[in-house]
Amino acid sequence: MRTNQVQNWCATLLAAALSLVLGKVRGNVMARPRVFISSTYFDLRVVRADLERFMREMGYEPVLFERGHVAYGKDQSLEDYCYREISSCDILVAIVGGKFGTQSKDEKNSITQKEIKTAIDLGKQIYIFVEKSVHSEYRTYLVNKEVKEFKPASVDSLKVFSFLEEVYALPVGNPVEPFELSGDITQFLREQFAGLFQRLLQEATRQKEVNLIQNLQETATTLNRLVTFLSDPKTKNDGSAEVKDILLTNHPAFAAIKRIEGIRFRVTFLNLRELDLFLKARGYKKDPEPFDPEVYEWDNHKEAQGIRVRKSIFDEKGVLKVFTPEEWDDDWITEYSLTPPASEADDEIPF
């Protein structure tokens, strides 16, 4: 019982981590990673049902056409809407059995095969599972594919094997695993998702180290410029304006905005107007009546967050003052969460 509780807890953490990395946090509501289940239906419907149950237990959102999860319209064919739905999913799990399935419009692949190719073209994370009997006879097919009399026992069309040959020949590796029972698939996916979670944690730690190195490099560059400038006998006695310019280039306010917005490129603004234009371009709107009269506030209702800037960092003309890192206070530029509007909150009430 305790093992299941730990697995469920880890699954919840993984779902949250994937949602964050995939950029799907909207206000206080976190979206689930969407998993498209691709396979022929009638021969694998039991496996599909088991996978749907597993994905929901993991905290993910399974997408199956037979459950009405694909939104069909009137402008295109039904299979085209399946391909379009893959673009809004994060992971595709494909199950290859002995049936070729329904022919796609291109008259070369089945619809299931075309779904896998669509996910590959979109760069999605893909896991492909092949029935063990099909996977075993595939090796026999490779040796006998030029023999006209070769008749496989595990598939109803040689196109199944030729498609597997294309998958194995792809330059980018996608896991292809044989399976006998649906439990083989869920166990493999559980281990893969755990490995993906561990990799995401490592990348997050590594990104912090990269940011630290970048900050040290910027600081070292500034110090080198100051040393070079002040050691020059022509300027060391009268260089206040140049020193101010060097300090302004690496203003702590720029680093604060970069941190809050998660920006990797250089951020620069010399006055209040430029800061306002910059934040407007990122979806923020200045609050004309902030709660604290000593601050400026910008709200981003789409992301349900705001940025608060101390007025004292600007002079009476709105020009940004120069501060050294020692003089700077991190509380002068902060972020805060916005409460969702009442209409949005009401939508979540189930009655």
Q: What's residue 235's pLDDT?
A: 53
Nearest partner of 93 among 116, 68, 122, judged by Cα: 116
**pLDDT above 60 for 88:** yes
The answer to whether the beta carbons of residues 41 and 51 sit under 8 Å apart is no
**Bigger pLDDT: 68 vs 173:** 68
pLDDT at 263: 87
- For the domain with range 32-180, which CATH number is right: 3.30.420, 1.10.3470, 1.10.540, 3.40.50? 3.40.50
Residue with more model confidence, 122 or 200: 122
> Across the chain, what does the average pLDDT equal?
81
Q: Where are the alpha helices (DSSP H) in the chain?
A: 2-21, 45-58, 78-87, 111-121, 132-144, 159-168, 182-230, 240-249, 252-261, 272-281, 342-347
More confident residue, 8 or 104: 104
The token pair at 151 is 């008749």
Percent of the chain at pLDDT > 70 equals 75
pTM of the model: 0.53
In the structure, what pLDDT confidence band is assigned to residue 295 with cuts at 50, 70 and 90? very high
More confident residue, 67 or 183: 183
Average pLDDT over residues 62-90: 83
Average pLDDT over residues 73-81: 78
Handedness of CA 147, 180, 60, 100 (dihedral sign): positive
pLDDT of residue 108: 80
Would you state the pLDDT for residue 182? 92
131-157 average pLDDT score: 91
- Tokens at 249, concatenated: 């280039």
Residue range(s) occupied by CATH 3.40.50 in the chain? 32-180
pLDDT at residue 243, rounded to an integer: 63
Question: Mean pLDDT, to the nearest integer, of 13-19?
Answer: 53
Please, what's the largest Cα pairwise distance for the chain?
94
pLDDT for res 56: 92
- Comparing 131 with 216, which gets the higher pLDDT? 131
Residue found by looking up tokens 């559980």 in the block = 190
CA dihedral 336, 340, 342, 348 (to 10 degrees): -150
Please report, for residues 63, 163, 194, 332, the alpha-carbon distance to residue 96 in angstroms, rounded to integers and kept in the order given. 17, 10, 24, 58
How does pLDDT run across 248-278, given as a tens digit for each residue? Answer: 777 889 989 999 998 888 888 999 999 999 9
Alpha carbon distances (Å) from 64 to 19, 47, 184, 226, 293: 20, 12, 20, 62, 53
Quickly count: other Cβ atoms within 10 Å of residue 254's Cβ: 19
Average pLDDT over residues 283-309: 92
Report pLDDT for 7.
52
Structure confidence at residue 314 (pLDDT): 94
